[in-house]
Amino acid sequence: MIGIKQKMARVRQEGGGVHGNLESPEYAVVGLAFGATEVYHLEDAAGSVVSRLSIDGAEFWLSDESPEHGNFSPESLGGGTVKMLLTVLDPDAWFAKAVAAGAREVYSVQQGHGWRVGRVVDPYGHHWEIGKPVST
């Protein structure tokens, strides 16, 4: 697996910015499909990266795997320990963008339990549910 620091170095060598990194195949789900923008970026002397990203004002952090800090990737653990739920107005459209950007469908968008929701997994193994609450 190529970490964030390797991707950032490649983007810098190619003259791109952080947005270019978010458009890489590995970040296409977060960058292209979900429209994430980088709000904050920190890189230490060893090249480890921490980024704060925003999707329509909802912020979250991504970082390289760092076992010394207790941060592990789903690949290292053989599966994820969390899933994200992205609440949007049109889950069908967002789901289709995620799959087109390289996410793998876990289950299609469907209605149940008061939600219209589907689930994808990104190239790193992180699970994303994309949905919205519905009126009954």
pLDDT per position as a tens digit, 107-116: 999 999 999 9
Top pLDDT among 96 and 3 is at 96
Write down the pTM of the prediction: 0.71
Q: Which of 23, 1, 20, 22 is nearest to 11 (CA)?
A: 20
Contacts of 6 (CB under 8 A, 6+ apart): none
Domains contained in the chain, CATH given: 4-133 (3.10.180.10)
- How far the first Cα of the chain sits from its last, in Å, is 44
Per DSSP, 88 falls in state -
How sure is the predictor about 91, in pLDDT bands with cuts at 50, 70 and 90?
very high
With CA atoms as reference, report the closest residue to 125 among 56, 76, 63. Answer: 76
The structure tokens listed for 132 are 């919205």
